[in-house]
Amino acid sequence: MAWLVTGGAGYIGSHVVRAFLAEGMKVVVLDDLSSGHAEFVPSDVPFVRGDVLDGELLMNLFSDHEIDGVVHVAGFKYAGVSVQRPLHTYKQNVTATATLLAAMDAAGVARIVFSSSAAVYGTPRTDLVTEDTVKNPESPYGESKLIGEWLLRDQGIAAGLQHTSLRYFNVVGSGSPNLRDTSPHNLFPLVFAALSDGRTPRINGTDYATPDGTCVRDYIHVADLATSHVAAARRLAAGDTIAPVYNLGSGDGVSVGEIMTTVAAVTGIDFVPDLGPRRAGDPDRIVASGELAARDLNWKMRHTLEQMVRSAWDAEQAAVAATA
């Protein structure tokens, strides 16, 4: 039996694949490579290039492989862009999830771990976000992830689907030198690209109500996140009762200023970031409690900030060397 990882050629999905393999669990990858990379999929892992929206492809995949459950990571993940492309976002994140659940139901596959997001909370009015914090998504992306959770909940009621949703916060780092974050919108790739181009990274806003005046966010290492996906899958496969949603957060936070200082130390590139005005809608602080996931899903912060930055930088440098 194997677990299907949708989006398994992407940054997060490829780490999930490796976490499963490290535990001796078989996986199959489905990815349309719209943002993923075929080289991120190990050569001995079955890889199907295709779209989660393709119901016939899904049915064939379930028929051809003995699938025990699904880790659904695939989706359109750019919150800011989703405001300009709401229909595309809903199609990729809501219609695709409904299509997947229908195919699972028809094939008798009744377990799923869903990739959700901190974006379901919007701008929380609390210093520490828990799973019960009011949900107030502020983008089509955040709304689509919340709807995805509802789809799982309702299918659980209607058809006995075993499920859990993992709400990610700021995912960074690398668990392998040949896997890296290639998003054009995430902080680490933006900072590394600026340094590689000889530009100075920029901080947006220095007047927040935080110790150094810059935004505080909850940064978690991608390999730690991947480990909890395996734990969730194991518990679902064992028939254990687990919570419908979990925050994967540190319970603490790191400021953008601290990130910049650590990047300078790790890379050896001495720079003072450019300072700009704050962006509209950016809250002072978003930090989540990971206590529930620590109890149930082997969740913990195994990497320091320096290790997060260094692993990401090493992967970035390995990619540069490979193309030289």
Share of the chain above pLDDT 70, in %: 99
Specify whether 204 is located in the same domain as 232: no
- Joined together, the tokens standing for residue 132 give 């019960």
Catalytic residue among 11, 90, 141, 168, which?
141
Alpha carbon of 257 to those of 94, 296, 307, 312: distances in Å?
A: 36, 33, 17, 18
CATH of the domain at 278: 3.90.25.10
Place of tokens 């450019």: 274
CA distances (Å), origin 242, targets 4, 53, 69, 245: 20, 28, 15, 9
Alpha helices by DSSP H, 48-95: 55-64, 79-82, 86-90
User: 19 in a domain, yes or no?
Assistant: yes
User: Would you say residue 275 lies in a domain?
Assistant: yes
- The verdict on 108 and 204 lying in the same domain is no
Nearest 5°: the CA angle 13, 17, 22 is 145
Same domain, 209 and 223: no
Shared-domain flag, residues 136 and 45 = yes
Is 67 found in the same domain as 49?
yes
Number of domains in the chain: 2
- Residues 134 and 85 placed together within one structural domain of the fold: yes
In a shared domain, residues 73 and 15: yes
Record the tokens describing residue 219, joined without a space.
């940064």
Compute how many other C-beta atoms are within 10 angstroms of the C-beta atom of residue 199. Answer: 12
From CA 115, how far away is CA 37, in angstroms rounded?
19
Separation of alpha carbons 115 and 229, rounded Å: 9
User: Tell me, what's the pLDDT at 100?
Assistant: 98
CATH of the domain at 24: 3.40.50.720
Q: Is residue 297 part of a domain?
A: no
Cα distance between residue 218 and residue 124, in whole Å: 13
CA–CA distance, 144 with 117 (Å, rounded to integer) = 10
Q: Which domain holds residue 255?
A: 187-217+250-287+302-323
87 plus 228 within the same structural domain = yes
Asked if 123 and 199 sit in the same domain, the reply is: no
Which residue in the block uniquely carries the two structure tokens 């919007």? Answer: 122
Question: How is residue 39 annotated by DSSP?
Answer: G
What is the structure's pLDDT at 278? 86
Per-position pLDDT tens, the chain of length 324: 899 999 999 999 999 999 999 999 999 999 999 999 999 999 999 999 999 999 999 999 999 999 999 999 999 998 889 999 999 999 999 999 999 999 999 999 999 999 999 999 998 989 899 999 999 999 999 999 999 999 999 999 999 999 999 999 999 999 999 999 999 889 999 999 999 999 999 999 999 999 999 999 999 999 999 999 999 999 999 999 999 999 999 999 999 999 999 999 999 999 999 999 987 777 888 999 999 999 999 999 999 999 999 999 999 999 888 887
Site of tokens 């009015």: 125
Q: What angle do CA 250, 252, 254 make, to 5 degrees?
A: 105
- The most distant pair of C-alpha atoms in the chain lies apart, rounded to whole Å, by 58
pTM: 0.96
The Cα–Cα gap between 5 and 229 comes to 11
Under DSSP, the state recorded for 245 is E
Q: Are residues 262 and 121 in the same domain?
A: no
Helix orientation angle between 140-159 and 96-107, rounded to the nearest 10 degrees: 20
pLDDT for position 322: 82
Whether 246 is a known active-site residue: answer no
Q: Are residues 8 and 84 in the same domain?
A: yes
**Is 63 part of any domain?**
yes
Strand locations in 75-145 (E): 111-117
Task: Judge whether 64 lies within some domain.
Answer: yes
Give the model's pLDDT for residue 244.
Answer: 98
Is the residue at 182 inside a domain? no
Looking at the structure, tell me whether residues 231 and 317 fall in a common domain: no
